[in-house]
């Protein structure tokens, strides 16, 4: 069993109603020890991101229409369209062998869409993510966020 501490990984990105932020403990940023940042960046970086000009290989470019699809008026097709956009955003993970994933999108109320993503890495570590679009606001969370790990 691999033991992680909050100082391993990349600085974790958290989301709330006001946008994104980082948490610091003891003067050090809390770190993302899994794929939380990668999932959020893959979903919320818009297509046409300027950083893609630095890459010649298509597989290394990022950008998604996930947020644009989720921002449209919710219709009967919205869950399937959002699931497709989410799968496209994470396709690079599968392409490079980093992880496999299953995505389920539900519409529990008239102004809400939930995207549940279960990711498994080659080491069989499972991570679950929930991206919730409630009205105009996004909330991202995971079952076991990095800041809870010691």
Q: Is residue 4 part of a domain?
A: no
Q: Is residue 138 part of a domain?
A: yes
Phi and psi dihedrals of 144, rounded to 5?
A: -140, 75
Residue 64 lies in domain? 10-148
The predicted-structure confidence for 13-25, as pLDDT tens digits, reads as follows 877 766 778 889 8
CATH at 58: 3.10.450.40
Which residues pair with residue 109 across a beta bridge? 112
pTM score, whole prediction: 0.75
The predicted-structure confidence for 47-88, as pLDDT tens digits, reads as follows 888 888 888 887 778 889 998 888 888 889 999 999 999 999
Q: How many domains does the chain have?
A: 1
């Amino acid at each position: 069993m691999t033991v992680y501490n909050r100082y391993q990984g990349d600085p974790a990105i958290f989301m709330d109603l006001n946008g994104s932020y980082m948490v610091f403990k003891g003067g050090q940023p809390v770190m993302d020890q899994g794929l939380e940042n990668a999932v959020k960046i893959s979903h919320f970086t818009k297509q046409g991101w300027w950083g893609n000009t630095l890459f010649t290989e298509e597989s290394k470019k990022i950008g998604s229409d996930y947020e644009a699809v989720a921002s449209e008026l919710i219709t009967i097709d919205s869950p399937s369209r959002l699931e497709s956009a989410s799968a496209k955003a994470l396709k690079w993970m599968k392409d490079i062998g980093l992880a496999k994933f299953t995505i389920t999108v539900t519409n529990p109320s008239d102004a809400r869409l939930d995207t549940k993503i279960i990711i498994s890495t080659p080491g069989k570590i499972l991570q679950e993510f929930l991206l919730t679009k409630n009205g105009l606001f996004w909330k991202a969370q995971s079952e076991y966020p990095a800041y809870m790990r010691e």
